[in-house]
Amino acid sequence: MSLGLIPQEVITQIRERADIVDVVSNYVSLSKAGQNLKGLCPFHSEKTPSFNVSPARQIFHCFGCGTGGNVITFLMKMEGASFPDTVRELGRRIGIAVPADSGAVTTSDSRARERLEHINGQAASWFRANLRASEHGSRARRYLADRGIDDSTIEAFGLGVALPSWDGLIQALTRDGISLADMAAAGLVAAKDQARRAPDAGGYYGRFRGRVMFPITDLRKRVVAFGGRILGEGEPKYLNSPETALFSKGRVLYALDRAREAVGRDGRLIIVEGYFDAIALHQAGMTNVVATLGTALTSDHLAIIRRFTNKVVLLFDPDAAGVRASLRSLDLFVDSGVGVTVISLPEGQDPDTFVRCHGSESFKRLHDQAPSLVEFAVEHSLRGGTSRSIEDRIRSVDEILRILQKTSHRIEKEEYMRVVAERLGISQQRLIERYAEVSPKRPPATRQPANRGESPEGRPPAMPEEWDLAYLLIQGQVSGAQVAALRSDCFSDAACRRIVEIALRHVDRDGRVMLRALLDEGLADAECHMAVTELSMSERHFDDPAAYIDGCLEALERKRRDRMLSELIRRLRAAEQEGRVEDARVLNAEVNALRVTKAGSIPVRSS
């Protein structure tokens, strides 16, 4: 991690002024739990909150996946941004200016990302300018008007048009001093030999030609890719940017940057399948809408969604493909803790046409009456069945039963079974028998108890004194005299040893560890940052911490001497075997000396 050229005092000032609770709340809904706040972890999938934020210490830690850190690390992980970018962005939010030229030393990775963002930004302006000015632009403007998209929406979503020429964009970007290789890296041009009929364009040709262009922005509102809808007839109807360093279509939800605020207010996120559907709903005042980019929902999408809400509304086409899509997403959502309802529009209508014909009020009514995803999936599986026998009807929902048995949530499972039984018109008992049949047989040996003798935080109990001492250090319970007796080389666990090393560098005049400095340095340290946040958030009780610490120190010292002794003995044996008489004599004396002190007491005692 490069610190760039941002002065350390500016970083400290920003970190101290930014409240981690405010920042995290933009991504995770938090509720009070004792001195801390708790929520569902945005970095792993879970149903019960193990993600903790400490307002007092200004750090976060997840007991589920071990992720932790301060406000800057949180934002870096969340936005996938570099350290200097994150500091600058955070500074902007809270009104602390970071000198413009600072942070110029970034990793080559983030420089490459910035370059691609710049190229995409230039391309987006060119597409927009075409829409306003060119002859081809007037055709696109007519097309957009026919689809009911008004000028302010065109402006807001930055829509544009790619001219039909093979090299128009190449010429425009070349004038901006952008190389063909960079254009190719941004996915805007393709090498000619891949094209079947590309006229000469310097070895490359523009990927998007004769299309209405939708810039795809990330949460920071930077253009990461484009989607293009062909003007008139032609294939493919929709074309997206290829995967680039900035863009992976399975990880992006179109318009999420514009929807996130409304999702925060409304609590629900509506997911549609196309650019026009999303834009039409936004234009109609429903701004909690995003679109997938022609892919099924992925677990990466789910991870993003969970940062903002646990209530999702899906809009499917009521055709066979729509039902298959609903089954696939049932599989994805079933054990995710995200509640999903489904809006299906009348045959032959999409959100775009529906809102235009019936208005947004009718859409909101559909929204409020939407069945759960399970109900929707069952309904549609049954509709496909031709036979009337109950067994056949159950068989048609076997696929759903197979998915439902993945949920580890008992109440949810029972609720789903009730829905399925009701819809089939059979008893739950009957269904449960069937359910047992479709469940894969699992050997009992693979079912392990959740707790395998580990501490509640999943820490192996191998070095209890080391972890307890590190915990008490971070909790500020170790006295000056005890700190003076700490030796980092007594610690065999790398993370604990590093915490002690850092603590010993930050001792005040009374010999006590300065906690803020320990936390700051510990959080920035690759070796121990996870342990630091975990130990900060843990709550453990010791009847007499001072006496316990003395006990731990003694135990560690004993272990250190044991280790030294066995090492000396090992070397002594080797020396004897190899006939190094003088070495053996010296080593033998050292072994005896150590044996004597080992028998005695350890001179360190706190008052």
The footprint of Zn ion (CB under 5 A) covers 41, 43-44, 62, 64-65
Quote the least distance from Cβ 45 to Zn ion, whole Å: 9
Shortest CB 563 distance to Zn ion, Å: 35
The CB-of-471 to Zn ion minimum distance in angstroms stands at: 20
| Long-range Cβ pairs for the range 69-74 (8 Å, 24+) | 69/523, 69/529, 69/533, 70/15, 70/20, 70/520, 70/523, 71/15, 71/18, 71/19, 71/20, 71/23, 71/24, 72/11, 72/14, 72/15, 73/523, 73/529, 74/20, 74/23, 74/24
**Residue 122 to residue 182: CA distance in whole angstroms:** 12
SS3 labels along 398-466: HHHHHHHCCCCCHHHHHHHHHHHHHHHCCCHHHHHHHHHHHCCCCCHHHCCCCCCCCCCCCCCCCCHHH
User: What sign for the dihedral angle of Cα 15, 21, 22, 24?
Assistant: positive
Least distance from Zn ion to the Cβ atom of residue 61, Å: 9
**Least Å distance between CB 46 and Zn ion?**
6
Closest CA to 5 of 82, 110, 103: 103
Q: What is the dihedral of CA 104, 109, 113, 116, to 10 degrees?
A: 100
CB 523 within 8 A of CB 482: no
The minimum distance between CB 25 and Zn ion, in angstroms, equals: 17
Q: Quick one: 64 or 318, whose CB is closer to Zn ion?
A: 64
Residue with tokens 């693979």: 446
Question: Shortest gap between Cβ of 29 and Zn ion (angstroms)?
Answer: 15
CB nearer Zn ion, residue 6 or residue 41: 41
Which residue, 62 or 463, is less far from Zn ion as judged by CB?
62
Copy the structure tokens of residue 160. 């544009």
The minimum distance between CB 41 and Zn ion, in angstroms, equals 3
- Closer residue to Zn ion in complex, CB, 65/507: 65
Q: Smallest gap, in angstroms, from Cβ of residue 67 to Zn ion?
A: 5
Identity of the residue, 62 or 327, whose beta carbon is nearer to Zn ion in the bound complex: 62
Least CB distance to Zn ion at residue 299 (A): 15
Q: Is 258 left (phi over 0), alpha (psi -120 to 50) or beta?
A: alpha
- Tokens coding 322: 């729509």
Tokens of 260: 């996130």
To Zn ion, the closest distance from the beta carbon of 473 in angstroms equals 24
Cβ atoms within 10 A of the Cβ of 451, count? 9
Q: How far is the CB of 305 from Zn ion (least distance, A)?
A: 16
Rank residues 62 and 225 by Cβ distance to Zn ion and give the closer one: 62
CA distance 328 to 335: 13
Which two three-digit tokens encode residue 465? 């004194």
Contact 86, 80 (CB under 8 A): no
45 or 295: whose CB is closer to Zn ion? 45
Indicate the residue among 229 and 529 with the shorter CB distance to Zn ion. Answer: 529
Residue number, 344 or 533, with CB nearest to Zn ion? 533
- Per DSSP, the three-state class of 56 is coil
Helix (H, G, I), strand (E, B) or coil at 271: strand
> Which residues, other chains included, contact 553 with Cβ-Cβ below 8 Å and sequence gap of 6+?
469, 482, 485, 486, 602, 604
User: Which residues does 596 contact at the CB level (< 8 Å), separation at least 6?
Assistant: none
Residue 457 Cβ, how far from Zn ion at the closest point, in Å?
12
In the complex, what is the shortest distance from the CB of residue 36 to Zn ion, in angstroms, rounded to a whole number? 15
Q: Which helix (H) or strand (E) holds 551?
A: helix 545-577
Q: How far apart are CA 594 and CA 585, in angstroms?
A: 14
Spatial distance between the Cα atoms of 532 and 470, rounded to a whole number of angstroms: 9
Pick 50 or 407: Cβ nearer Zn ion: 50
Angle at 90 between CA 89 and CA 93, to 5 degrees: 90
Which CB atom, from 64 or from 69, has the smaller least distance to Zn ion?
64
224 vs 338 by CB, closer to Zn ion: 338
* 23 vs 343 by CB, closer to Zn ion: 23
Spatial neighbors of 378 by CB under 8 A, at least 6 apart, are 397, 400, 419, 420, 423, 424
Kindly tell me which of 50 and 217 has the beta carbon lying closer to Zn ion: 50
Give CA 219 to chain center in angstroms: 13
